[in-house]
Amino acid sequence: MSFVVRAAATKGVLLRLREQLGFIEKGKEILKMKREQLAGEINRLLAEVKTRGELEKEIMESYEYLKKAHSMLGYQNLQSMALTVSQIDVSGLTYSVMGVIVPELRIEKETDISNVPSGIAYEAAEKLSSLLRRIIRLGESEAKIEKLVDEFMSTNRKVNALEQIVIPSIASTIRYIEGRLYEEMLEEFIRTKHVREVIRRRRA
């Protein structure tokens, strides 16, 4: 899709449009490079989140250990033992990927289950605590993907707009002005030739 903008057919306008077109084409190439790098980072993160199904399966298996502990110890005892487990300490940070601010979760301190007194409760705690780091990393990767996909879509729309609308429009306008200037040059040439012919005849 393109359309011609009827601009003043002057050499000055033509020069400015050519400079503008060159600038926009360079900008388009930068955006395409950004789009490719975003796609590469998204693909890398998608490979990481493919483990979600496996992780969910392991969580359900660990939950069976928790149900077993609950049935053997009862709710009150299990809750009391849960209070002996220190909580995991996680801090939230951000950093930039191609100008996109994405989250980063840093584990400052792992959970400690060493004080759990019951063997069956300890086994359940061990199974679940071993999955915490992976759950956190999976959530971090999914949040990054969401941010990067939004930026990828926005960048892709910009590239498409430049390629399909803006650049063709400016290029069409340049061709229009070049054609008008060429016509004017021909008309000037014909007028000059006619004037010279008149003068030559008068002198004859």
pLDDT of residue 87: 84
Tell me if 21 is assigned to some domain: yes
Tell me if 160 is assigned to some domain: yes
Q: Mean pLDDT across the chain, nearest whole number?
A: 88
Percent above pLDDT 90 for the chain: 39
Q: What is the mean pLDDT of residues 143-160?
A: 96
Q: What is the mean pLDDT of residues 192-201?
A: 78
pLDDT greater than 80 at residue 107: yes
Tell me if 109 is assigned to some domain: yes
pLDDT greater than 90 at residue 108: no
Tell me if 6 is assigned to some domain: no
Residue 130 is part of which domain span?
11-196
pLDDT greater than 90 at residue 174: yes
* φ/ψ (deg, to 5) at 75: -65, -45
Q: How confident is the model at residue 204 (pLDDT cuts 50, 70, 90)?
A: low
CATH number, domain with residue 65:
1.10.287.3240
Considering only residues 52 and 201, tell me which one the structure prediction assigns the higher pLDDT.
52
Considering only residues 88 and 5, tell me which one the structure prediction assigns the higher pLDDT.
88
pLDDT of residue 120: 87
Tell me if 174 is assigned to some domain: yes
Report the half-sphere exposure of 64 (CA within 13 A, side-chain side): 5
| Whether 41 contacts 100, CB under 8 Å | no
pLDDT of residue 2: 45
Q: What is the 3-state secondary structure of the chain?
A: CCCCCCCCCCHHHHHHHHHHHHHHHHHHHHHHHHHHHHHHHHHHHHHHHCCHHHHHHHHHHHHHHHHHHHHHHCHHHHHHHHCCCECCEEEEEEEEECCEEEEEEEEEECCECCCCCCHHHHHHHHHHHHHHHHHHHHHHHHHHHHHHHHHHHHHHHHHHHHHHHHHHHHHHHHHHHHHHHHHHHHHHHHHHHHHHHHHHHHHC
pLDDT greater than 70 at residue 116: yes
Structural domains counted in the chain: 1
Q: What is the mean pLDDT of residues 11-18?
A: 92
* pLDDT one-digit tens code per residue, 119-135: 888 888 888 888 888 89
**How big is the chain, counted in residues?**
204
Amino acid at 67: K
Tell me if 203 is assigned to some domain: no
